[in-house]
């Protein structure tokens, strides 16, 4: 059924289609082959953003508009195959945010969930529902849905991070709400590190029950995650398709740290080549350490630290690490898994 072409259009059929159109009706058999496809056909394309090329544009934006005036000074990463849509994979948004010394990105909240992956700078903060956390390169920070959050930079250097949000998913469901906080910053009601102490050591407060689906830990420090990868690499051989790969989890449930966005960290040994792999979740990668290349179909994306690249849904890809490399990635895999849609193929199958 899914590979059949549309039936031939006869004059009588065309007249019928024209006749029913004013009643807001249309024949499914004219579109069935394009609506129910034999396999995914993503419009998104493989693409890469080299940080050394993007950074000057970020700094230029910093001289044109303040963080307060912009609300969020972000340069969106626009997938070249999506015709100007504010999306990097078709379902997820990505952009690079700049906070200059002394600036505050004012507090607000929205139903979209967000992640921050820190690219450059040391010691700026984000605050989520009354708790601040200082951010370092490689940290994975969560802003859960409908939580007050603001950002500030009390250091002497610019701070840059990658924003990843489920904007397209929320908008598809017409579930977008947002509002601003009365002040630029929210009151601090818990000391820094409180969430990590309560929930980040394989312990949970007695009689605590999660009220939301997002992890109660909102900063996963890179130093701890990198140490786990190093031990994993020391204790066993790499997976032929992923290298040494871990997923960030919600310690209360063991599920994804975010309900709509899956996040991952993987180590590729020096000289390692992964075998061809594809899955239905289009994935955004950030190179943290090392250098190498990723072949996506016939496209070769060469990356180094701080570069960002995207592998669209169901396109076969393989990574090569010229020297030991670490990649962070995120995708909509949790949503697909909940709906029973996620699929993978290993090798050339």
Share of the chain above pLDDT 70, in %: 99
Average pLDDT over the chain reads 96
Domain of 116, CATH number, reads 2.60.120.10
Share of the chain above pLDDT 90, in %: 95
Asked if the structure places residue 36 within a domain, the reply is: no
Q: Residue 211: its pLDDT value, please? A: 86
Output b/e per residue, 141-164; b: 16+ Cβ within 10 A: bbbbbbbbbbbbbebeebbbbbbb
> pLDDT category, 349, cuts 50, 70, 90?
low
Q: What is the pLDDT of residues 117-126, one digit of tens each?
A: 999 999 999 9
pLDDT digits (tens, 9 = 90+) for 235-274: 999 999 999 999 999 999 999 999 999 999 999 999 999 9
d(CA 113, CA 141): 11
Question: What is the model's pLDDT at position 6?
Answer: 81
What is residue 2's predicted lDDT score, i.e. its pLDDT? 46
CA distances from 237 to 84, 105, 233, 321 (A): 42, 44, 7, 15
Q: Is 281 within a domain?
A: yes
9: in domain: no
pLDDT category at 3 given cuts 50, 70, 90 is low
pLDDT of residue 5: 74
Quick one: tokens of 199?
Answer: 């929930």
Calculate mean pLDDT across residues 90-112: 97
Report the pLDDT averaged over residues 72-101: 97
pLDDT class of 348 with cuts at 50, 70, 90 = confident
pLDDT at 292: 98
Which residue, among 95, 88, 85, 28, has the nearest Cα to 61 in the 3D structure? 95
Q: What is the pLDDT of residue 1?
A: 42
The pLDDT tens digits of the residues spanning 298-336 come to 999 999 999 999 999 999 999 999 999 999 999 999 999
Per-residue confidence band for 84, with pLDDT thresholds at 50, 70 and 90 = very high
Is 319 among the domain residues? yes
Q: Structural domain tally of the chain? A: 1
- 70 assigned to some structural domain: yes
Q: Is position 25 within any domain? A: no
Tokens of 300: 């070769």
What average pLDDT does the segment 61-67 reach?
97
pTM over 0.85? The answer is yes
Query: Looking at residues 212-223, what average pLDDT do you find?
Result: 95
In a domain, 38, yes or no: no
Domain range for 267 is 47-346
Q: What is the pLDDT of residue 189?
A: 93
- Please, where are the H alpha helices in the chain? 11-20, 32-35, 51-64, 67-70, 167-172, 194-199, 222-235, 333-338
How many CA atoms lie less than 13 Å away from 222 in the CB half-sphere? 19
pLDDT above 80 for 54: yes
Q: Mean pLDDT over residues 21-29, rounded?
A: 97
Q: Is residue 159 part of a domain?
A: yes
Residue-wise pLDDT tens digits, 146-182: 999 999 999 999 999 999 999 999 999 999 999 999 9
Question: Does residue 4 register a pLDDT over 80?
Answer: no
């Amino acid at each position: 059924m899914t590979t059949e072409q549309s039936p031939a259009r006869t004059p009588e059929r065309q007249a019928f289609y024209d006749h029913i159109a004013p009643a807001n009706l249309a024949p499914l058999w004219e579109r069935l082959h394009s609506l129910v496809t034999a396999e995914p056909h993503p419009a998104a394309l493989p693409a890469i953003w080299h940080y050394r090329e993007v950074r000057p544009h970020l700094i230029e934006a910093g001289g044109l508009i303040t963080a307060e005036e912009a609300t969020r000074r972000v340069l969106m990463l626009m997938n070249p195959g999506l015709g100007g849509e504010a999306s990097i994979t078709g379902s997820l948004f990505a952009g690079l945010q700049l906070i200059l010394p002394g600036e505050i990105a004012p507090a607000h909240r929205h139903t979209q969930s967000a992640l921050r992956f820190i690219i450059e700078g040391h010691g700026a903060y984000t605050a989520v529902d009354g708790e601040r956390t200082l951010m370092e390169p490689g940290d994975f920070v969560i802003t859960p849905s409908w939580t007050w959050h603001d950002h500030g930079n009390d250091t002497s250097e610019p701070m840059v991070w990658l924003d990843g949000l489920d904007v397209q998913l929320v908008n598809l469901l017409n579930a977008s709400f947002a509002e601003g906080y009365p002040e630029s910053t929210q009151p601090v009601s818990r000391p820094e590190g409180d969430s990590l102490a309560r929930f980040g050591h394989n312990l949970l407060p007695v009689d605590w029950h999660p009220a939301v689906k997002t992890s109660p830990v909102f900063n996963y420090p890179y130093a701890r995650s990198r140490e786990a990868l190093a031990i994993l690499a020391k204790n066993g051989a790499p997976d032929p398709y992923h290298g040494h790969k871990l997923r960030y989890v919600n310690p209360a449930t063991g599920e994804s740290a975010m309900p709509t966005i899956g996040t991952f960290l993987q180590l590729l040994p020096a000289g390692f080549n992964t075998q061809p792999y594809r899955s239905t979740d289009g994935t955004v990668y950030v190179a943290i350490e090392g250098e190498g290349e990723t072949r996506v179909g016939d496209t070769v994306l060469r990356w180094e630290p701080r570069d960002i690249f995207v592998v669209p849904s169901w396109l076969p890809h393989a990574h090569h690490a010229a020297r030991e490399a670490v990649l962070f990635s995120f995708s909509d895999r949790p949503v697909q898994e909940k709906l029973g849609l996620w699929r993978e193929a290993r090798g050339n199958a």
